[in-house]
Amino acid sequence: MPIEIKQLSHTYLPGSQLAYPALCDISLTIEDGEFLGIIGHTGSGKSTLIQHLNGLLLPTDGSVLVDGLDTREKKLRKRIRSLVGMVFQYPEYQLFEETVARDVAFGPKNMGLDEAEIKVRVNEALVLVGLDPAEFSEKSPFELSGGEKRRAALAGILAMRPKYLVLDEPMAGLDPRGRREILALIESPGAISARASSWCRTPWTMWLCLPTASPCSTKARFSWWTNPKQFFHTAQS
Ligand SMILES: Nc1ncnc2c1ncn2[C@@H]1O[C@H](COP(=O)(O)OP(=O)(O)OP(=O)(O)O)[C@@H](O)[C@H]1O
Ligand SMILES: [Mg+2]
pTM attached to this predicted model = 0.84
Ligand 1 pocket residue status of 54, Cβ below 6 Å: no
CA 168 to ligand 1 centroid distance, Å? 13
Local confidence band at 10 (pLDDT 50, 70, 90 cut-offs): very high
CA 168 to ligand 2 centroid distance, Å? 7
Q: Of the given ranges (56-60, 105-109, 205-209), which has the lowest mean pLDDT?
A: 205-209
* Best of 8, 10, 20, 60 for a ligand 1 pocket test (most atoms within 8 Å of beta carbon): 20
pLDDT in tens, 70-93: 999 999 999 999 888 888 888 778
How are beta strands 164-168 and 205-211 bridged, if at all? parallel
Q: What is the largest CA-CA distance in the chain?
A: 55
Local confidence band at 33 (pLDDT 50, 70, 90 cut-offs): confident
* The pLDDT of residue 39: 78
8 Å CB contact between 32 and 2: yes
Give the start-to-end residue ranges of the domains of the chain. 3-236
* The pLDDT of residue 20: 93
Distance in angstroms (rounded) separating the CA atoms of residues 84 and 77 = 10
Local confidence band at 236 (pLDDT 50, 70, 90 cut-offs): low
Q: Domain 3-236: give its CATH code.
A: 3.40.50.300
Strand order across the 3-12 sheet: 20-30, 3-12, 61-66, 69-70
Residue nearest to atom 1 of ligand 1 (CA): 12
Distance in angstroms (rounded) separating the CA atoms of residues 144 and 42 = 29
Amino acid identity for residue 25 in this structure: D
CA 44 to ligand 2 centroid distance, Å? 8
The two counts, helices (H) then strands (E), for the chain are 9, 10
* The pLDDT of residue 201: 45
Amino acid identity for residue 47 in this structure: S
Pick 202 or 128 by higher pLDDT.
128
Whether residue 217 has pLDDT greater than 50: no
8: closest CA among 91, 64, 68, 54? 64
Pick 124 or 212 by higher pLDDT.
124
Ligand nearest to the CA of 49: 1
Q: Residue 21 forms beta bridges with which residues? A: 11
CA 42 to ligand 2 centroid distance, Å? 7
